[in-house]
Amino acid sequence: MSKVQSIKTTHSEVFIGEHVFKVLTEYLTPYKDCKKFLLVDENTLQNCTTQLISQVKALENVEIIEIESGEENKTLDICYQIWKTLSDYKADRNSVLINLGGGVITDMGGFVASTYKRGIDFINIPTTLLSQIDASVGGKVGIDFDDLKNMIGVFNEPKGVFIYPPFLKTLDKRQMLSGYAEALKHALITDKKYWKNLKGGLLSNSEDWENLITTSVNIKNSIVLKDPKEKKERKLLNFGHTIGHAIESYSLKNDSLPLLHGEAIAIGMVCETYLSHLVLELSAANLKEISSSILSFYSRYRLDDNQFHQLIELMKHDKKNETSSINFTLLKEIGLAEVNHEVDVELIIESLNYYNSLIKK
Ligand SMILES: NC(=O)c1ccc[n+]([C@@H]2O[C@H](COP(=O)([O-])OP(=O)(O)OC[C@H]3O[C@@H](n4cnc5c(N)ncnc54)[C@H](O)[C@@H]3O)[C@@H](O)[C@H]2O)c1
Ligand SMILES: [Zn+2]
């Protein structure tokens, strides 16, 4: 696959392929005389910035804003620093912010751009598998707040998303697998054939990456197009995330080496597959197939019984719940999901115990 793939989103477009920077160069023409800013962290500064700037002449004099990597930095304090830099460098309404990084950079950079002077243009160049197949697409931007994930944010799309698969060459295996969890989710909620391709293992060459990225972006985008503001269909994408986000928030607060987003979502998907078996009669064979495939990819993480109460409280706080009851997206079968299933706390606890019982084996 050498041609640039292009996928139209609600108000924008996603480009995928080794030659995306030619398209980016054209995209930047209207900003010729405008101030351009490039948001990076230390890893994307080291691994991606030179490759980008050497291929996109228009970025030769871009102002680089570097922040420290990590989910613990997706905060208001760091937004303040970025707003301050934009302001010090006299960014105006015509300026453009280019986010070069993983989901932390695209979520936070998108939020900063959407609010600076009531909104300046931004462009996403995602550099992790997770951000290429998920975070940079769909228009959700925001930050964590008070130990809760993505509490502050808005819906706002970038002017364009440019996905250059070779950036993944410097990403470590743990980060690749974190992104892979979102691909597994895309397959489980919509596409049985995709699941069959993915459950065997992480695809090893970059040709495969491009196919995987294109399939996942198409799945995510087609769901978002039907329901950009998450009134109904978009909740399909929350599969694994109600329990997964609670585990991620808990781990961020309590563990010295916290779980990555996708690692927490993988646990959430195992638990929510179990709930699907209880509530939607997903078959026992499917439950076993999904749980064992997911567990084969990720390290085991023990959930302590005395954490359960805190996890439930975190789920109740989750912004996805319109009432105090806990709302789930569940699987009816592999490739078919349903939104808006209210589940009792006892069953949720049973699902956490189910995960624990599997990792003992
Ligand atoms: N907005 C959405 O719709 C959406 C969807 C899914 C996830 N998210 C968010 O995305 C975030 C997770 O994103 P992530 O997994 O990309 O995390 P991340 O941004 O923290 O990146 C992971 C690590 O990889 C490094 N890195 C990035 N690109 C690299 C490269 N090419 N080579 C080497 N190292 C590189 C980063 O510096 C970082 O240390 C979470 O905050 C999650 O909430 C948002
Ligand atoms: Zn996610």
Task: Indicate whether residue 43 lines ligand 1 (CB < 6 A).
Answer: yes
Atom 4, ligand 1: which residue's CA is nearest?
135
pLDDT tens string 255-281: 999 999 999 999 999 999 999 999 999
Q: Which residues, other chains included, contact 123 with Cβ-Cβ below 8 Å and sequence gap of 6+?
A: 24, 27, 96, 97, 98, 99, 158, 159, 160, 161, 162
Nearest ligand to the C-alpha of residue 181? 2
Q: How far apart are CA 307 and CA 305, in angstroms?
A: 5
* Same domain for 65 and 157: yes
Q: Which of 14, 79, 128 for mutating ligand 1's site (highest number of atoms within 8 Å of CB)?
A: 128
Judge whether residue 135 has pLDDT over 70: yes
- Domain co-membership, 287 together with 268: yes
- The pLDDT of residue 178 is 97
Q: Please report how the helices 261-279 and 345-360 are oriented relative to each other, as an axis angle in degrees rounded to 10.
A: 120
Residue 128 Cβ inside 6 Å of ligand 1? The answer reads: yes
Whether residue 39 is found in the same domain as residue 80:
yes
Q: Are the CB atoms for 232 and 339 separated by under 8 Å?
A: yes
pLDDT confidence tier of residue 360, bands split at 50, 70 and 90: confident
Give the strand pairing for 336-343 and 148-155: unpaired
The answer, yes or no, to whether any atom of ligand 1 lies below 6 A from the CB of 150, is yes
Same-domain pairing of 84 and 178: no
Cβ 144 under 6 angstroms from ligand 1: no
Residue 322: band (very low, low, confident or very high) from pLDDT cuts 50, 70, 90: low
Report pLDDT digits (tens) over 147-198.
Answer: 788 999 999 999 999 999 999 999 999 999 999 999 999 999 999 999 999 9
CA distance 272 to 235: 14
Q: Backbone phi, then psi, for 62, in 5-degree steps?
A: -65, 145
Among 129, 155, 170, the domain boundary falls at 170
Same domain (yes/no): 17, 153: yes
Identify the residue whose C-alpha is closest to ligand 1 atom 33.
Answer: 171
Q: Are residues 224 and 139 in contact, defined by beta-carbon separation less than 8 angstroms?
A: yes
Same domain, 159 and 209: no
Closest ligand, as measured to the CA of 177: 1
Residue 268 token pair: 């959430």
Contact by Cβ (8 Å): 271, 243: yes
Same-domain pairing of 105 and 202: no
- pLDDT tens sequence across 33-67: 999 999 999 999 999 999 999 999 999 999 999 99
Hey, what amino acid is at 94?
N
The domain spanning residue 41 has which CATH number?
3.40.50.1970
pLDDT tens per residue across span 206-227? 778 999 999 999 999 999 999 9
The pLDDT score that the predictor gives to residue 99 is 98
Q: Is the CB of 69 under 6 A from ligand 1?
A: yes
HEC string of the chain equals CCCCEEEECCCCEEEECCCHHHHHHHHHHHHCCCCEEEEEEHHHHHHCHHHHHHHCHHHCCCEEEEECCCHHHCCHHHHHHHHHHHHHCCCCCCCEEEEEECHHHHHHHHHHHHHHHHCCEEEEEECCHHHHHHHCCCCEEEEEECCEEEEEEEECCCCEEEECHHHHHHCCHHHHHHHHHHHHHHHHHHCHHHHHHHHCCCCCCHHHHHHHHHHHHHHHHHHHHHCCCCCCHHHHHHCCHHHHHHHHHHHHHHCCCCCCHHHHHHHHHHHHHHHHHHHCCCCHHHHHHHHHHHHHHCCCCCCCHHHHHHHHHHHHHCCCCCCCCEEEEEEEECCEEEEEEEECHHHHHHHHHHHHHHHHC
pLDDT in the model for residue 200? 85
The domain of 32 spans 5-170
Tell which residue, 194, 227, 301, 219, has the closest CA to residue 257: 301
- In a shared domain, residues 146 and 179: no
Across 291-307, b (16+ Cβ under 10 Å) vs e yields bebbbebbeebebeeeb
Are 45 and 192 contained in the same domain? no
Average pLDDT over residues 120-139: 97
Ligand 1 atom closest to 262 (CA):
15
Whether 320 has a pLDDT exceeding 70, the answer reads no
Considering the domain architecture, whether residues 183 and 121 belong to the same structural domain is answered as: no
Question: pLDDT at position 112, please?
Answer: 98
What value does the mean pLDDT take over residues 5-21? 96
Is there a single domain that holds both residue 148 and residue 177? no
pLDDT at 201: 81
Report the separation in Å between the CA atom of 182 and the middle of ligand 2, taken as the mean of its atom positions.
6
Which one of 170, 191, 209 terminates a domain? 170
Tell me which of 29 and 207 has the higher pLDDT: 29
Domains held by the chain: number: 2
pLDDT in tens, 106-120: 999 999 999 999 999
Task: Kindly report the average pLDDT of the chain as a whole number.
Answer: 95
Q: Is 241 in the pocket of ligand 1 (CB under 6 A)?
A: no
Which of 50, 69, 163 is the best mutation target for the ligand 1 pocket, counting ligand atoms within 8 Å of the beta carbon and taking the most? 69
Predicted confidence band at 361 (pLDDT cuts at 50, 70, 90)? Answer: low
The finding on whether 47 has its CB within 6 A of some atom of ligand 1 is yes
Domain boundary among 170, 185, 217: 170
CA dihedral 201, 207, 209, 213 (to 10 degrees): -130
The CATH number covering residue 253 comes to 1.20.1090.10
Q: Which of 50, 85, 89, 87 is nearest to 66 (CA)?
A: 85
Instruction: Indicate whether 70 and 55 sit together in one domain.
Output: yes
Identify the pLDDT of residue 148. Answer: 84
